[in-house]
Amino acid sequence: MKSAVPAPGEAKAKIDFRCLTEDCTGVIEFNLREIADRDFQAVCPVCHRAYALDAALRDKLERMMKLIEALRNSEDILGDSVVSVNVAGGEVRVPYALLLTRLNTLITLNLGDTPTDFHLWVEPSSPETFR
Ligand SMILES: [Zn+2]
């Protein structure tokens, strides 16, 4: 995915979830920063169903954003770190950077009363950060 270089220190985090309307194939996508706005409303691009995020959900997403920013500020440290996983016959070392950039995070939060999977996409601040 190609995109403009974000401003220094600005974490780019997108979040999306599948529309809850039966038979709708829409995916609601937004920037995690936008949810800090009280009037923020997510709208399905296909069926135009509006999702108002309640205070509890917004609070969780805001804290997620802060977590991402903390990770962003530690990129230079994490770039040199590995996660070691013991497996039968040895050890697998996964560069921490891979966990941040190559794996998609999935969090399940309640949207109203419906447990919903949110996909979180985070881009490193610079393509050069993780070699
Ligand atoms: Zn929809």
Q: How far is the CA of 58 from the centre of ligand 1 (A)?
A: 20
Q: How far is the CA of 50 from the centre of ligand 1 (A)?
A: 9
Burial 71-105 (b: 16+ CB within 10 A, else e): bbeebeebeeeeeeeeeeeeeeeebbbeebbeeee
Domain span including residue 63: 12-72+104-123
Is position 86 within any domain?
no
Is position 61 within any domain?
yes
Is position 129 within any domain?
no
User: Quick check: helix, strand or coil at residue 56?
Assistant: helix
Q: How far is the CA of 29 from the centre of ligand 1 (A)?
A: 12
Instruction: Give CA separation, 33 vs 1, 12, 62, 115, in Å.
Output: 19, 8, 8, 22
Q: So what's the pLDDT on residue 102?
A: 57
Q: How far is the CA of 41 from the centre of ligand 1 (A)?
A: 14
Query: Pairing relation of β-strands 90-95 and 12-18?
Result: unpaired
Q: How far is the CA of 39 from the centre of ligand 1 (A)?
A: 20
User: Could you give the number of structural domains in the chain?
Assistant: 1
Is position 68 within any domain?
yes
Is position 95 within any domain?
no
Is position 78 within any domain?
no
Is position 41 within any domain?
yes
Instruction: Look up tokens 């600005």; give the residue.
Output: 10
Q: How far is the CA of 32 from the centre of ligand 1 (A)?
A: 20
Q: How far is the CA of 20 from the centre of ligand 1 (A)?
A: 7
Give the pLDDT of the chain (131 residues) as one tens digit per residue. Answer: 444 444 444 657 788 999 999 999 999 998 888 877 777 888 999 999 998 888 888 888 888 888 877 877 877 787 778 878 888 888 888 877 776 665 567 788 888 888 888 888 776 655 555 44
Is position 58 within any domain?
yes
